[in-house]
């Protein structure tokens, strides 16, 4: 397989991916572009096989022979994304000396921390975290946790992570002791989930194979009619 490589062109005319015969050995046309702006052009394995490994010898020309600038982009093999996912806050009540939040973990996932999105404040607070499966009987998880001066110089809110021993309660009770002062403004409660995306690949045309088997090993040769840059090999094997 060959990693998908695309070019983004910014043009005002119908483009042609071509080359002047006296300067380049290979040329290929793009599909017609009927609108202005950026256009994505996929470079097939047949095209990339005739280019340098760094693709530095690509030139783009429009129908008048004028060279066109482009941006080169290649799919990454693995892409990691971190997303903030919210927990449902079933209750958020401020009493005269503390604020109580009840957080729902419906899947009873095993977790070790909770992220709090807090409106900027230069204050100091004590927190307690308890866990329960029925909201009737609560069990201690973390006591007398000290929060100090949570604010962000770039944004109007700050994310603070509350770590605690591994647990899988369905409900969590967060108590913020205000000691007769105004409460802090907790905007969201959630966690960070990391997702993994694998890059897309183009399948090159089927090569021919030759195989020599011995008692100790099998030697398989793969033959292409043209040069190919291979980023990934995928095997389908039948039998032992």
Residue of higher predicted confidence among 201 and 208: 208
pLDDT computed for residue 167 by the predictor: 94
Tell me the HSE value of 166 on the side-chain side, using a 13 A CA sphere: 1
Domain ranges of the chain: 1-77+200-240, 81-196
Of the candidates 2, 70, 5, the one whose C-alpha atom is nearest the C-alpha of residue 33 is: 70
What is the average pLDDT value for the chain, to the nearest integer? 83
pLDDT computed for residue 87 by the predictor: 94
pLDDT computed for residue 1 by the predictor: 61
Count Cβ atoms below 10 Å from residue 221 Cβ, excluding itself. 10
Where are any strands of DSSP class E within 105-216?
111-119, 121-132, 139-150, 157-167, 171-177, 186-198, 201-202, 208-213
If 0-12 CB within 10 Å is exposed, 13-18 middle and 19+ buried, where does residue 99 land? buried
Q: Are 118 and 158 in contact (CB under 8 A)?
A: yes
| Least confident interval from 15-19, 130-134, 164-168, 187-191 | 15-19
Q: What is the dihedral of CA 219, 224, 228, 230, to 10 degrees?
A: -30
Q: Residue 58: which pLDDT band, with cuts at 50, 70 and 90? A: confident
pLDDT in tens, 171-194: 999 999 988 788 989 999 998 877
Token pair 């095993």 in the structure block, residue:
110
Give the pTM: 0.53
pLDDT computed for residue 210 by the predictor: 92
Residue of higher predicted confidence among 109 and 180: 109
What is the sign of the dihedral through the CA atoms of 55, 61, 62 and 67? positive
Three-class secondary structure of residue 4 per DSSP: coil
What is the 3-class SS of 52-89, one letter each residue?
A: CCCCCCCCCEECCCCECCEEEEECCCEEEEEEEEECEE
Place domain 81-196 in its CATH homologous superfamily. Answer: Galactose-binding domain-like (2.60.120.260)
Q: Are 67 and 58 in contact (CB under 8 A)?
A: no
124-156 core/surface letters (b: 16 or more CB in 10 A; e: else): ebebbbbbeeeeeebeebbeebebeebeeeeee
Count Cβ atoms below 10 Å from residue 204 Cβ, excluding itself. 19
């Amino acid at each position: 397989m060959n990693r998908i490589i695309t070019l983004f062109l910014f043009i005002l005319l119908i483009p042609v991916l071509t080359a002047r015969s006296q300067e380049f050995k290979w040329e290929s046309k793009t599909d017609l572009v009927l609108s202005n702006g950026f256009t994505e052009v996929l470079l097939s394995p047949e095209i990339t096989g005739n280019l340098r490994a760094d693709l530095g010898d690509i030139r783009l020309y429009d129908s008048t022979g004028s060279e066109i600038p482009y941006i080169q982009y290649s799919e990454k093999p693995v892409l990691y994304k971190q997303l903030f996912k919210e927990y449902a806050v079933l209750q958020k009540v401020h009493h005269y000396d503390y604020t109580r939040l009840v957080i729902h973990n419906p899947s009873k996932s095993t977790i070790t921390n909770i992220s709090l999105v807090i409106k900027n404040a230069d204050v100091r607070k004590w927190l307690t975290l308890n866990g329960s499966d029925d909201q009737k009987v609560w069990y201690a998880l973390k006591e007398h946790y000290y929060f100090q001066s949570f604010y962000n110089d770039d944004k109007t809110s700050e994310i603070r992570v509350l770590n605690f021993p591994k647990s899988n309660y369905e409900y969590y009770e967060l108590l913020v002791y205000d000691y007769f002062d105004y409460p802090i403004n907790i905007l969201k409660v959630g966690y960070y989930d990391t997702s993994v995306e694998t890059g897309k690949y183009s399948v090159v045309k089927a090569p021919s194979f030759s195989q020599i088997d011995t008692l100790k090993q099998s030697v398989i040769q793969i033959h292409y009619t043209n040069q190919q840059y291979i980023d990934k090999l995928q095997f389908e094997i039948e039998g032992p």
